[in-house]
Structure 1
Amino acid sequence: MRVAIIGSGPRGMSVLERLVARLIESESRESVEIYLIDDGYVGTGRVWSTEQSPHLLMNTVAQEISAFSGPWDGTEARPGNGPSFAQWWQLYREDYEQFGGYGPRAYYGEYLLYVLSAVESSLPSHVTLCKRSARVERLEETCRTQLLYFLNSEILEVDRTVLATGHPNNRLQGFEKTLHDYAARTEDVMFMSGDSVADMNLSEIGPQQHVGIIGMGLTFYDLLAELTMGRGGEFITEQDGSMRYESSGCEPRIFVGSRSGVPVPARGFNQKPSDYEYHPAIFTRERAFCMIQKGEVHFDRDVLPLLEAEIGLVYAETKLRHEKGEDQARQLREYVIIHQVDSVEGVSTFAHILGLSHPMTIDLYKLANPFRGCTFPSLDSFNEVLSSLLAADYEEAMRGNVDSPIKAALDVIRNSRSVIRVFVDFGGLHPHSHQNEFLRRFSPVSGFLSAGPPAFRVLQLQALIKAGIVTVIGPSVKFEPVANEHESGIYMSSPSVEDSTVAVKVVIDGRIPTTDITRDRSSLTQSLLEKGIYTPFVNRKRDAVFETGGVSVTASPFHPIRADQTIADRLYVLGIPTEHTRWFMQSGSSRPHKWIDFMIDADAIATDMIQGRGEKHDPNQAEKQHYAATGTL
C-alpha cells in the first residue's frame, strides 16, 4: 500500500502520527510506503516554519496543545505517547516563562519536527516514510490508484491520498482587487494580500512610511510585532505594570481600522489546568441532537439563545462566587439543570433570587462592536476612548479565565465549538441562516471574542498608541485610492470619526483568506475542480440554496463527493479545504489529555486506509477506544 499525505502542517502530521500508531498495532505485515509531501517545509508546513520570527506567537497556551495522540509516560516518545508542547518546551528550551505560556510559532514548528522524528524512529520494519519537499500540481484518478503530478514533472502513483492543504491563496475580488490593481499601476503604492505574516515581504516598507492595515485580529498583532520589535524597537515594563515603547527609528507609521474599530480582545490569563473540561448545563450536545431531529433550524432563532444562556450562566456563576460564595454559584447551576432553563432571562431570574447584585444581559454582537452608533469629533478623542477600553480589557484579562466574569463567560464559546458543529456541519442550518446569520455574522464575532492574543499584547498596543507609532482610524474604515493625477496613495477614513482621513502608501490586508475552492489559486485545487473530484458543498433545502465554497465531503472519514455525486473513497480531505461544509477547521492541535475532533478525524482516516476496503469508520468508536486505553473514560 502506498499512501500520500499532501500538506504536512498539523492536520497532515496528525494523520501520519495516527497512521503509524495504527500500523504498529496491526497484525498485518504488508509493505506500506508513506509519502509526506509539502511545497513548503516538510513536517511544519509554511505557517509553522522554524525560520520565522520569534515575535510571532500562538494564541493558545502551550499546556493545552499536543501533537501526540496519547499522554506521555516519560519514556521515549513514539506515536500515541509523547510530551505535550509545554512539556517539550520546558525540556528543550529555557525561556518557557518569558512568553506567558504562549509559544512562538517557530517553536511549535520545532515541536512538530520532534514529533516527526519520533514517528520516523518508531516505524515498523515493513513501513517506510519518504519526505518530499515539492509541489503537487494536479491529481488524476485511475481505476484503483491516483497519479500525483509534481511541478518538476515527476509522477507518483499511490493507492490512497490525504489532502490537507491548509490556508488558500484566493483570487482577489471587491475592494481588495481595486486596491491591488491601483497599487499595481501606481509606482510608489503597495498592496499586500492577506496571508501569514511570516510570508509577507515587510522589508520593502521603509522607516516612517505610512502603512494602513485592514483588520484588527490576530494578524494585526503579528504585524505590529514585526514592524516594531522586528525593527529593533523595545517594550519597557514600567513599575506600575504598564509598558513604554522605545523606538528604534526604523518603524513605519501605522494606521489601522476594521468594521468594529476595536482590536480583538485579549485572552484571559490562564487559570485552568491542562486537563480542564467544561460541562455545559444548557447548550448541550443532547439538546442539539434533539433540536435538529425536530426539523428546520435557524441559528439566530434556535441556537444563539441557548449559547448566550450558557455564556450568561458562567458569567452569573462567577459573579455569584465573588459576591456570595461557592455554594450560591453551585446552586445556580443546579437550578438551571433542574428547571431545564433555556434562556438568558431564565438564568438571570435564578441568579437574582440567589442574590446577584445587578441585571444581567448578554449580547455577543454588542460586545464585539461597542462603538456601534457612536461618533467622535477627532482621531485623538476616539483613540482616548479606545485606550480606556483597552485598559479595561487588560484588567479583566489579568483577573483570569476563571475569576473574571466576562473572560470566563467568553471561554464558553471555545468550549462549545463541538456543540455548534452539531447544528452547523453538513448543512444542519437552513441555507439562508447558514450563510447570513452564522457565517457572515456569528462566525467572525465568535473568533473575535474567543480567540484573542495573550494579554501583554494589549499593553504593547497601548504603548504604541502613546508613542505615536499606531493610530486607530475607527469603525467601518474605508479604503479609497486617491483620485488625483497629481498625487498617489490610498485614503483611509472612518465615517464615525470626524477628520479621520489619512493617506498611506502601503496597505496590508491583515485578514486570513476565507475558504473558497472556486477562487483558490492553487493549481492542485483547480485541477481537482476541473476533473469533478472537488465540488463546493451546497446547503440546499427546498427552494433555498447556499453554495458554501468548502469541499463537499462525506461524513467521517471525509471522502470528497464528486460532481456526479459518486464518492472518491480512496481520497480524503481534511481541515481548511472543508471549511463551511464543517465548521472551525482552522484548529491546529489536539489536547494532551483527550482526543478532540482534530485527533478523532485523523484516526478515522488512518483506520479507513488500513482497512483498505472503503468501509466507513465510526469516530465515536475511536473516541471510546482512546478513552479506554488512557483510562479517562
Structure 2
Amino acid sequence: MSAGRPSVVVVGAGPRGTGFLERLAANLPELYGDRPLDVHLVDPHPAGPGRIWRTAQSPLLWMNSRAEDVTMFTDETVRIDGPVLPGPSLAEWAGIDGRAFPTRPQQGAYLRWVHARARAALPPGVTVHEHPTTALRVTGPRDGRQRVWLDGHAVPLAADLVVLALGHLDARPDARLREPAGFAARHGLVHLPPEFTADSDLSVLPAGQPVLVRGFGLAFVDLMVLLTEGRGGRYEKHATDPDRLVYVPSGREPVLYVGSRRGVPYHSKIGYELAGERPPLPRFFGPAEVDALLAAGRPVDFRRDLWPLVAKELGWAHYHRLFTAHPERTAVAREDFEERYAAAAPLGPELDALVARAVPDPADRFDPAALDHPLAGVRYASADALQEGLRRYVADDLTRRHDPANSPDLAVFDALLSVYGQLARIGDIGDPGNWWHGFFSYLASGPPGPRLRQLLALSDAGIVRFLGAGVTIETDEERGVFRASSTSLPGEWTEARALVEARLPDPTVAHSAAPLLRSLHQDGARATEAGLLAVDPGDGRVLGSDGRPHPRRFALGPHTTSRAGGAFTRPRTGGFAFRQNDRTARAALTLLRDLSCPAESTQASAPVSA
C-alpha cells in the first residue's frame, strides 16, 4: 500500500462483504472515476463464501432456499441510485434444477465466483489486498485516517474509511450459559453452546446416549443431519406410502430429545408458486407509516408502535389472497370486507368480529398469536401421546405448506419480506428480545420440506424424541445430570449427560467473541437494548453514544440495527440488502472522492436514497 493512496478496509469478505464489493465496483465509474484506490479485505475465511458458506464442509448440509431463489445480483425490482447490473441466480449459474435445495458447498462455489467477478469489474487503478486474518480493533479520529489493527501484524492498516461486514459471529457465554457450562465442567458432562453447528465438535455426543437439545430451528436441523446421515445412517422409501421415509440407523446415533419455547420446528418451506393476483403491498405498513414514525422524534417501541401495523399488513395479505383466490371460503363481499378492514383498528375486537363474520372457518383466519404459540394450552397424557401429537403436527404442516389451497400462507410470506424492508429503514425497532426476528424466521425461514420428512422418519425410528413447548432445563447437582421438562407434559422429566444449545449465538455487541465489535462499543459506538450495533439506516454509518454517525466507519449485517433478511435474496423481490449495499458503497465513494479532491466537496454530493 502506498502511503498517499486512498484506501478502504472491508472487514469480512463473505457474502455481505462481497455484495458491498460488487456495488463498489458498479458505482466507481460515476462517483470516483479512475482515481487510484487500495481496497483491503480482511477475513480469516475464504473470500466469497466466508465461514458459513465455505466449500470445505459436509455436502449433507443444504441451503435453506431453492436454487432459483438465491441471487447476488440486482435486477429491475431493486430501487437503487447506482446502476442495476443483473447476473445469474445460483440455479442459472450452476445449471441445476431451480426447485432443488443446493448444498452449502455449492452455494460457496457460487459466492466464490461472484467475488471473483466483482474483483474483475474493478478498474485498473484499484488494487485489492487480501489479509487472511482477524481484525482486532479500529482506532483513529473522527476527521482523520483510521487504523485497523490485525491479529499477527505489528503495523495497522491505514484506512480513509472502514466497512464492517462481519456476518454471523461467535459469542462469549452470558449468565444464562455460564451456569450450565460450569455445571457440565464440574460433573464431567457435555454442554455445547450456541454456535455454527458445522463447527461444533459432535464427537463428544456418544452413540445410543440421550442428548437434550434446546432449540428447534435451523441449527437443530443441521445437528440432526450430522448426527444421523453424518454418522452413516440412511433413508429409504416407505413400502406403502410414497410421502413417507424410513430411517435405517447405523447404530452410531445418539437419541435427541428436542424442545423449545414453541415446541415445534420452524414451518416448512412452501412448495408451490403463487398464481394469479398478488396482494398489493405495502398497504398498511409502507413508506408513509415509516415516515410518520420517524418524524415523531421519539424512540420506537416494537410492540406499541410497530406490531399493530405489521400485524394488520400481514393480515391484509392473507385475506386479500383468500378473497381473490378462494372466495368460496368467505361469507361477505370482498369490497365490503376490505373497506371495513381498512377502517378497523389493528389487533382489536372490531377487527376480530369482522373476520369472524367474513371467514366462517377458523382455519382460514390469520391468527398471529396461535401461529407463535401452536401448543399453547395443549397437554398430553403421556410421552408416547406427545410423540404422536407432534408427528401429526409436522405432517399436517408439510401437507398445508405444499397445498395451493392454502395460498394465503404464501401471501403472508410476501408480506413478511415487505415488512422486513420497511423495518430496516427504522434501524433500532425497539425489540429488546429480538422477538420479531425470531417470528419472521419461524414463519419464513423454515427448513425444506424433505428435512421435515426426515424428521418424521427419525421420530418413527426413536432417534428423535419430542419434549414439547415451554421447555425448562434444570441441573441436578446431587445426581450430576441435566433434566428437561415442558408445559406440554407436566411432571415428566428427561435426564441426560449432554445438553446442546441448538441456535446461532445472539448477535449482541457486549457478548460478541469478535474483539473488534467489543472494542468499538468500548470506544463509544452505541449498542441498542437488544444488543445490536446502532447504525444510520440511511447509509450504514456507525452511530456513537451521542447519536452522531461516524463519518468514516460503516457496518452492514446481522449484528447491526439495519439487519436485512440476508446477504442474498430472491430474484425480482426488491432485495433490501442490495439497497443497503448500494447506499453504503455510494456514501463511501463520495467520501473517498471528496478526500482525494477537496474542491469537489463543495459541489453537491451524489444523492443517497432514503
TM-score range, shorter chain: 0.7 to 0.9
Call closer, same or farther: CA 1:230–1:335 in 2, change over 3 Å. same
**What is aligned with 1:249?**
251
**What is aligned with 2:215?**
215
Letter in 2 for 1:464: L
The CA distance in 1 between the partners of 2:411 and 2:85, in whole Å, is 32
Once the two structures are overlaid, the 10-residue window that deviates more, 603-612 or 332-341, is: 332-341
- Choose from 555, 558, 567 the match for 1:573: 555
Confirm or deny: 8 A CA contact 2:274 2:407 kept in the other structure. no
Q: What's the CA shift for 1:319?
A: 3.8
Superposition map of 1:358-507 within 5 A: 358=361, 361-400=365-404, 403-421=406-424, 425-426=427-428, 434-435=431-432, 439=433, 441-484=435-478, 487-498=479-490, 500-507=492-499
Superposition map of 1:85-124 within 5 A: 85-90=90-95, 94=96, 96=97, 100-124=99-123
The CA distance in 2 between the partners of 1:603 and 1:329, in whole Å, is 45
Q: What's the CA shift for 1:184?
A: 2.2
Call closer, same or farther: CA 1:337–1:145 in 2, change over 3 Å. farther
The CA distance in 2 between the partners of 1:568 and 1:300, in whole Å, is 30
Confirm or deny: 8 A CA contact 2:272 2:403 kept in the other structure. no
The CA distance in 1 between the partners of 2:190 and 2:402, in whole Å, is 38
The CA distance in 1 between the partners of 2:28 and 2:322, in whole Å, is 51
Q: What's the CA shift for 1:285?
A: 3.0
Deviations 1:556-615 (A, max 9, x none): 22222334655421111111221xx34x44522144336432111111121122212488
The CA distance in 1 between the partners of 2:544 and 2:312, in whole Å, is 40
Confirm or deny: 8 A CA contact 1:411 1:450 kept in the other structure. no
The CA distance in 1 between the partners of 2:493 and 2:327, in whole Å, is 50
Question: How many corresponding residue pairs?
Answer: 582
Give structure 1 regions of 4+ aligned residues with deviation exceeding 6 angstroms: 325-330, 344-353, 614-617
Once the two structures are overlaid, the 10-residue window that deviates more, 138-147 or 512-521, is: 138-147
Confirm or deny: 8 A CA contact 1:262 1:369 kept in the other structure. no
The CA distance in 2 between the partners of 1:309 and 1:447, in whole Å, is 19
Letter in 2 for 1:124: P
SS at match of 1:13: helix
- Choose from 530, 533, 557 the match for 2:539: 557
Length-normalised TM-score, structure 1? 0.83
The CA distance in 2 between the partners of 1:124 and 1:342, in whole Å, is 55
Confirm or deny: 8 A CA contact 1:266 1:397 kept in the other structure. yes
Q: What's the CA shift for 1:326?
A: 12
Superposition map of 1:56-455 within 5 A: 56-70=61-75, 80-90=85-95, 94=96, 96=97, 100-141=99-140, 144-155=144-155, 156-187=157-188, 189-238=189-238, 239-272=241-274, 279-290=281-292, 293=295, 299-321=302-324, 323-324=326-327, 331-332=334-335, 335-336=338-339, 340=343, 343=346, 356-358=359-361, 361-400=365-404, 403-421=406-424, 425-426=427-428, 434-435=431-432, 439=433, 441-455=435-449
Q: What's the CA shift for 1:313?
A: 3.4
Call closer, same or farther: CA 1:586–1:594 in 2, change over 3 Å. closer
Q: What's the CA shift for 1:357?
A: 3.9
The CA distance in 2 between the partners of 1:217 and 1:495, in whole Å, is 19
The CA distance in 1 between the partners of 2:279 and 2:10, in whole Å, is 32
Deviations 1:269-327 (A, max 9, x none): 14149x98852333333244345546766544554334333333343344445553699
Once the two structures are overlaid, the 10-residue window that deviates more, 563-572 or 365-374, is: 563-572
Call closer, same or farther: CA 1:441–1:35 in 2, change over 3 Å. closer
The CA distance in 2 between the partners of 1:163 and 1:488, in whole Å, is 43
The CA distance in 2 between the partners of 1:278 and 1:176, in whole Å, is 44
Confirm or deny: 8 A CA contact 1:364 1:445 kept in the other structure. no
Deviations 1:221-268 (A, max 9, x none): 111111111112112233431111111112111111111211111121
The CA distance in 2 between the partners of 1:309 and 1:569, in whole Å, is 38
Confirm or deny: 8 A CA contact 1:71 1:592 kept in the other structure. no
Deviations 1:415-438 (A, max 9, x none): 32123445x5345x5xxxx43xxx
The CA distance in 1 between the partners of 2:333 and 2:125, in whole Å, is 55
**What is aligned with 1:544?**
none
Call closer, same or farther: CA 1:122–1:83 in 2, change over 3 Å. same
The CA distance in 2 between the partners of 1:3 and 1:277, in whole Å, is 42
Call closer, same or farther: CA 1:46–1:276 in 2, change over 3 Å. farther
Deviations 1:328-353 (A, max 9, x none): 99944994499655547777777788
- Looking at both structures, which has the greater relative contact order when contacts are Cα pairs under 8 Å and sequence separation is at least 6? 2
Confirm or deny: 8 A CA contact 1:317 1:329 kept in the other structure. no
The CA distance in 2 between the partners of 1:313 and 1:220, in whole Å, is 32
SS at match of 2:108: helix
Letter in 1 for 2:384: D
Confirm or deny: 8 A CA contact 2:234 2:248 kept in the other structure. yes
Q: What's the CA shift for 1:110?
A: 1.0
Give me the CA root mean square deviation. 3.3
Confirm or deny: 8 A CA contact 1:604 1:617 kept in the other structure. no
The CA distance in 2 between the partners of 1:409 and 1:285, in whole Å, is 19
Q: Which runs of 5+ in 2 are unaligned?
A: 1-5, 78-82, 596-600
**What is aligned with 2:598?**
none
Confirm or deny: 8 A CA contact 2:475 2:483 kept in the other structure. yes
The CA distance in 2 between the partners of 1:65 and 1:36, in whole Å, is 24
Identity %: 26
The CA distance in 2 between the partners of 1:592 and 1:324, in whole Å, is 30
The CA distance in 2 between the partners of 1:314 and 1:343, in whole Å, is 14
- Choose from 526, 531, 539 the match for 1:535: 526
Q: Which runs of 5+ in 1 are unaligned?
A: 73-77, 538-546, 622-633
Call closer, same or farther: CA 1:248–1:71 in 2, change over 3 Å. farther
The CA distance in 2 between the partners of 1:358 and 1:305, in whole Å, is 24
